[in-house]
């Protein structure tokens, strides 16, 4: 099995490279391992349908359109196809079709975009139908060979048996015949109770090569004759290249060319990347810093502050009259929270490798959106779509950053400077930190009204700050309103029915867009919205003198799924029981990315103000669980990402640019800080939700509420490294 798994992703790339080479510069040979014999490649292996390829020796290749960046979607999608295919799981491998092939085949693989925790929840239906259709064709082919009705045949573990006579045949033996049959007009999917592969913690299909250095990431691509490029774009957003003195570095070892790329960047092309980077660092560049050079964290904070009281705001969720109810309440509680810019900081910096000739453009890159990468390649290459393609490789992290294709555009523009020669563009960590698409910055004023019995009679949540859509896709705004801002706060839908039934509610957004480019960042707007709501709920509960769990419970009568995960973590952490001496507990819940999540944290704070998270209990209801162990891995990882953000991460702005350039000033959580995580899965079986992101949102508020319980100090802005929790 490993042989298939290890090499399958490059099979398409390899053939395409050979084709591409034939059309261009000449005899390329490849550094990649060759997955199958040339004869096999020439003959073609039977494709039953777009999703399923079966070799004569029974090996199965499942085609995966979404990108694998660690989240395990690849294995989950293969499980879904294999389930309906009635496949022998031990024979299942995979490959990525290219976005160019998708285009040529009328988007038979549909959406390649891999973000928003949508990989499985938005494609489970059609990939299962693909598996089922292939099974029906294989069974029909066997029935035809035996001249018996297909209804007398049964498929299990890649073997078809004619039940009355006991004759059997393997999938590989009938694959060629099956491939020639008409696909069925309709298929019936198995009920969940009959699943044998879906719902099991089968091993990931992509682990082996990650243990021995064989996994090829984009940064590792090597093509014969390939050159390497390093790039610097103007660090001040909106700035441009004024001039650069190429003569100063053209004589340096290995340097081939110094080129301006677009209005704002300069690249050095050299034999090796280290040579390119060394020359780029030595290259005198003068920037025209543009209109944003005076922007700073302080000016941006003032801009956001102006939105807290602004009259004009977009409504996200409304019931009754919140302002009037608060004005007439027995007790008014008010607090302002804020959340900073953050960089995705994927371990593998942005990169892409491109080969351009006047006839063809090919790109090899880690991308969360193969079709967007292809569109970028087409535009930058100046070639017709049919002459361009993108070969996806595994991502060294994505977290939303690799949904953008700016680095693909750059790579193609660089490759155009070197026709017929592949060029790999790799960003330095510093470039990656300075040219991000950042977690949007927002602040929120929370105002609540309590009656004399401590009931929450009105809540006004005013968000002020950045809109991701305004930055990346303004056409998607609805009369100027960004619906994504209200993730987790909506009246209903996949992105959060708000869990609390409050008679008078107003959640609105005063849009304030600083010049720093925003992007989708793992967890997106659910991250800060969960902090704002869940920490403020904690404040309200304390103001009402009611236990925070009980306070929430009263408001969640009509939100049983929200409440179920909250109750589960409360039970798991031992809510109500005395905490370990010196520790305290906090809770949080939210719904987003189609799933219900909650967390409970047990925390201590030393006299010196050092925070230690001892234990986390998480509960998730994603509807269906395709691979429990991989869901658990996503939940565990979500706490690392969420607590990294909560404790350490902030991109500050000075002189119009980001200040933090590397992990020394933009740290991530490390192992010594990582608490134990107990993950409870509570799939209710009646919907399909995502798991890569939602849990991140409850990490910070659970810990922040526990910090309050431990210290009596309420932290309302992140990261926590800025909070002074020393005991007086």
Partner 1 sequence: MARLNVNGRVVEIDAPADTPLLWALREQAGLTGTKYGCGIAQCGACTVHIDGEAVRSCSITLEGVSENQKIVTIEGLSPDSSHPIQKAWLQLEVPQCGYCQSGMIMAAAALLAKTPKPTDAQIDEAMTNICRCGTYNRVRAGIKLAAGV
| Smallest separation (angstroms) from partner 1 to the CB of 96 | 15
553 binds partner 1 (CB under 8 A): no
C-alpha to C-alpha distance for 275 and 257, rounded to whole angstroms: 12
Residue 638 contacts partner 1 per CB under 8 A: yes
Q: Is 349 an interacting residue with respect to partner 1 (CB under 8 A)?
A: yes
CB-nearer residue toward partner 1: 197 or 216: 216
Nearer to partner 1, 51 or 438 (CB): 438
> CB-wise, 677 or 710, nearer to partner 1?
677
Distances (CA, A) of 597 to 57, 453, 676: 44, 29, 18
| Residue 176, token pair as written in the block | 């060629």
What is the widest separation between alpha-carbon atoms in the chain? 87
Query: SS3 of 219, please?
Result: helix
Q: d(Cα 586, Cα 569) in Å, to the nearest integer? A: 10
Query: What DSSP string describes 79-136?
Result: HHHHHHHT--GGGEEEEPPPHHHHHHTTSTT------TT-TTTTTHHHHHHHHHHHHH
Nearer to partner 1, 418 or 645 (CB): 645
**Which sign does the torsion angle of CA 407, 413, 416, 418 carry?**
negative
C-beta neighbour count of 27 within 10 angstroms: 8
Q: Which stretch binds partner 1 (CB under 8 A): 4-12, 331-339, 673-681, 719-727?
A: 673-681
Q: Which is nearer to partner 1, 489 or 640 (CB)?
A: 640
State the minimum distance, in angstroms, from the CB of residue 659 to partner 1.
16
> What's the chain's length in residues?
728
Q: Which of 22, 33, 654, 663 is the binder for partner 1 (CB under 8 A)?
A: 663
Residues within window 496-535 making contact with partner 1, judged by CB under 8 A: none
Number of residues located near partner 1, criterion CB under 8 A: 62
Helix (H, G, I), strand (E, B) or coil at 596: strand
Span of 44-52, 180-188, 323-331, 640-648 interacting with partner 1 by CB under 8 A: 640-648
Residue 145 in contact with partner 1, rule: CB under 8 A: no
Which CB, 204 or 460, lies closer to partner 1?
A: 204
Task: Give the residue with the Cβ less far from partner 1, 111 or 215.
Answer: 215
Is residue 674 a contact residue for partner 1 (CB under 8 A)?
yes
Query: Which residues are 104's β-sheet partners?
Result: none
Q: Is 577 in the site for partner 1 (CB under 8 A)?
A: no
Q: At its nearest, how many Å lie between partner 1 and the CB of residue 488? A: 21
3-state secondary structure of 722: helix
72 or 465, CB closer to partner 1? 72
Which residue's CB is nearer to partner 1, number 562 or number 615?
Answer: 615
What is the residue whose two structure tokens read 């236990």? Answer: 547
Which residues, listed in sequence order, are joined to residue 506 by a DSSP beta bridge? 318, 460
- Stated as kind and residue range, the H or E segment containing 377 is helix 370-381
- Residue 69, interface with partner 1 (CB under 8 A)? yes
Closer to partner 1 by Cβ: residue 70 or 514: 70
Which of 669, 691, 697, 720 is the binder for partner 1 (CB under 8 A)?
A: 669
Pick the binder of partner 1 from 116, 370, 396, 449 (CB under 8 A). Answer: 396
Does 645 contact partner 1 by CB under 8 A? no
Q: Are 292 and 236 in contact (CB under 8 A)?
A: yes
* Contact status: 3 vs partner 1 (CB under 8 A): no
Alpha helices in 598-689 (DSSP H): 628-647
Instruction: Decide: is 7 part of the binding site for partner 1 (CB under 8 A).
Output: no
Asked if 671 touches partner 1 (CB under 8 A), the answer is yes
39 counts as binding partner 1 under rule CB under 8 A? no
d(CA 588, CA 601): 9
**Residue in 549, 640, 703, 723 binding partner 1, rule: CB under 8 A:** 640
Does 148 bind partner 1 (CB under 8 A)? Our answer is: no
Rounded-to-integer distance, Cα 269 and Cα 284, Å = 16
Q: Which is nearer to partner 1, 163 or 272 (CB)?
A: 272
Residue 614 binds partner 1, judged by CB under 8 A: no
- Using a 10 angstrom Cβ sphere, with 0-12 exposed, 13-18 middle and 19 or more buried, the burial of residue 728 is exposed
Q: How far is the CB of 464 from partner 1 (least distance, A)?
A: 29
Q: Candidates 475-483, 562-570, 606-614, 625-633 — which segment interacts with partner 1 by CB under 8 A?
A: 625-633
Task: Work out whether 660 is an interface residue with partner 1 (CB under 8 A).
Answer: no
Among residues 140 and 342, whose Cβ is nearest to partner 1? 342
**Nearest CA to 569 among 680, 669, 674?**
680
Q: Which is nearer to partner 1, 399 or 551 (CB)?
A: 399
What's the rounded Cα separation, in Å, for the pair 525 and 592? 10
H or E stretch covering 176: helix 171-179
Binding mask 249-288 for partner 1 (x = CB under 8 A): ----x------------------xxx--------------
Which of 139, 556, 633, 710 binds partner 1 (CB under 8 A)? It is 633
Nearest approach, Cβ of residue 522 and partner 1 (Å): 9
Give all strands of the β-sheet with 255-261 in edge-to-edge order: 255-261, 265-270, 227-233, 423-426, 351-356, 361-365, 388-392
Query: By C-alpha distance, which of 158, 208, 207, 198 is closest to 48?
Result: 158
> Considering the rule CB under 8 A, would residue 721 count as an interface residue with partner 1?
no
Rule CB under 8 A: say whether 647 interacts with partner 1: no
CB of 661 to partner 1, least distance (A): 9
Per rule CB under 8 A, is residue 672 in the interface with partner 1? yes
State the Cα–Cα distance between residues 618 and 636, nearest whole angstrom: 9
Between CA 508 and CA 312 the distance in angstroms is 9
In whole angstroms, how close is the CB of 583 to partner 1 at the nearest point? 18
Site string (420-459) toward partner 1, x via CB under 8 A? ------x-xx------------------------------
| Closest distance of CB 383 from partner 1, Å | 30
* DSSP string for 2-69: HHHHHHHHHHHHHHHHHHHHHHTT-----SSPP-S-HHHHHH---EEETTEEE-TTS-EEEE--SPPS
Which residues touch 299 (CB under 8 Å, ≥6 apart)?
A: none
Report residue 508: phi and psi, to 5°. Answer: -140, 165
The residue (of 218 and 458) whose beta carbon lies closer to partner 1 is 218
- b/e 686-715 (16+ beta carbons within 10 angstroms → b): ebbbbbbbbbbbbbbbbbbbbbbbbbeebb
Among 346, 354, 408, 723, binds partner 1 (CB under 8 A): 346
We find the least distance from the C-beta atom of residue 399 to partner 1, in angstroms, to be 7
Q: Give dist(CA 634, CA 625) in Å, integer.
A: 12
| Cβ at position 643, least distance to partner 1 in Å | 9
- The tokens describing 358, both together, are 């006047």
In the range 196-235, which residues lie near partner 1 by CB under 8 A? 203-204, 206-217, 219-220, 222, 228
Q: Is 601 in the site for partner 1 (CB under 8 A)?
A: no
Residues interacting with partner 1, by CB under 8 A? 69-72, 203-204, 206-217, 219-220, 222, 228, 253, 272-274, 345-349, 394-399, 426, 428-429, 629-630, 633, 636-641, 644, 662-664, 667-672, 674, 676-677
């Amino acid at each position: 099995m490993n042989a298939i798994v290890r090499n399958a992703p490059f099979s398409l790339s390899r053939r395409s490279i050979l084709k591409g080479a034939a059309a261009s510069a000449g005899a390329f040979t490849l550094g990649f391992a060759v997955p199958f014999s040339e004869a096999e490649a020439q003959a073609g292996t039977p494709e039953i349908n777009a999703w399923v390829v079966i070799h004569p020796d029974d090996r199965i290749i499942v085609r995966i359109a979404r990108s694998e960046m660690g989240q395990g979607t690849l294995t989950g999608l293969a499980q879904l196809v294999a389930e309906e295919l009635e496949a022998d799981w031990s024979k299942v491998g995979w490959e990525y079709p290219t976005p160019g092939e998708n285009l040529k085949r009328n988007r038979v693989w549909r959406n390649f975009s891999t973000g928003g925790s949508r990989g499985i929840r938005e494609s489970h239906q059609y990939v299962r139908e693909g598996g089922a259709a292939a099974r029906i064709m294989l069974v029909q082919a066997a029935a035809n060979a035996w001249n018996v009705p297909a209804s007398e045949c049964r498929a299990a573990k890649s073997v078809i048996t004619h039940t009355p006579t006991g004759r059997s045949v393997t999938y590989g033996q009938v694959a060629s015949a099956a491939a020639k049959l008409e696909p069925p007009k309709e298929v019936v999917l198995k009920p969940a109770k009959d699943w044998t592969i879906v719902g099991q913690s089968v091993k990931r299909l992509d682990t082996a090569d990650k243990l021995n250095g064989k996994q090829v990431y984009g940064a590792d691509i090597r093509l014969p004759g390939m050159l390497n490029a390093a790039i610097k774009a103007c660090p001040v957003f909106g700035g441009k290249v004024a001039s650069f003195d190429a003569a100063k570095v053209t004589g340096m070892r290995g340097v081939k060319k110094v080129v301006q790329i677009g209005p704002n960047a300069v690249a050095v092309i050299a034999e090796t990347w280290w040579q390119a980077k060394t020359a780029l660092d030595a290259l005198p560049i003068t920037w025209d810093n543009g209109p944003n050079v005076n922007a700073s964290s302080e000016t941006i904070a003032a801009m956001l502050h102006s939105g807290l009281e602004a009259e004009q705001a977009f409504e996200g969720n409304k019931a009754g009259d919140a302002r009037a109810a608060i004005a007439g309440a027995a007790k008014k509680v008010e607090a302002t929270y804020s959340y900073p810019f953050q960089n995705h900081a994927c371990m593998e910096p942005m990169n892409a490798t491109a080969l351009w000739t006047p006839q063809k453009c090919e790109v090899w890159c880690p991308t969360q959106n193969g079709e967007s990468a292809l569109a970028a390649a087409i535009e930058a290459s100046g070639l017709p779509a049919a002459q361009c393609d993108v070969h996806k490789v595994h991502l060294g992290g994505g977290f939303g950053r690799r949904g953008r294709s700016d680095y693909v555009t750059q790579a193609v523009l660089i490759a155009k400077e070197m026709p017929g020669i592949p060029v790999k563009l790799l960003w330095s960590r510093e470039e990656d930190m300075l040219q991000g698409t950042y977690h949007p910055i927002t602040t929120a004023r929370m105002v609540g009204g309590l009656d004399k019995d401590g009931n929450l009679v009105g809540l006004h949540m005013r968000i002020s700050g950045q809109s991701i859509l305004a930055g990346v896709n303004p056409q998607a705004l609805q009369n100027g309103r960004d619906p994504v801002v209200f993730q987790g706060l909506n009246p209903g839908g996949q992105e959060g029915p708000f869990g609390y039934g409050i008679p008078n509610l107003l959640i609105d957004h005063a849009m304030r867009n600083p010049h720093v480019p925003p992007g989708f960042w793992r967890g997106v707007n659910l991250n800060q919205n969960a902090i704002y709501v869940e920490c403020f709920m904690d404040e309200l509960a304390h103001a009402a003198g009611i236990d925070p769990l009980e306070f929430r419970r009263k408001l969640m009568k009509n939100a049983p799924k929200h409440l179920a995960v909250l109750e589960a973590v409360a039970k798991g952490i031992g809510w109500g029981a005395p905490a370990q001496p010196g520790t305290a507990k906090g809770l949080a819940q939210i719904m987003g990315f189609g799933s219900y999540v909650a967390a409970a944290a047990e925390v201590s704070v030393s006299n010196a103000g050092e925070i230690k998270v001892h234990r986390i209990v998480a509960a998730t209801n994603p509807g269906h669980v395709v691979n429990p162990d991989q869901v658990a891995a996503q939940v565990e990882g979500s706490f690392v990402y969420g607590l990294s953000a909560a404790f350490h991460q902030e991109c500050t702005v000075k002189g119009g640019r980001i200040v933090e350039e590397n992990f020394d000033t933009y740290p991530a959580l490390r192992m010594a800080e990582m608490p134990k995580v107990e993950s409870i899965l509570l799939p209710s079986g009646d919907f399909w939700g995502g798991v890569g992101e939602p849990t991140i949102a409850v990490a910070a508020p659970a810990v922040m509420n526990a910090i309050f319980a431990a210290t009596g100090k309420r932290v309302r802005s992140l990261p926590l490294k800025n909070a002074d929790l020393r005991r007086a």
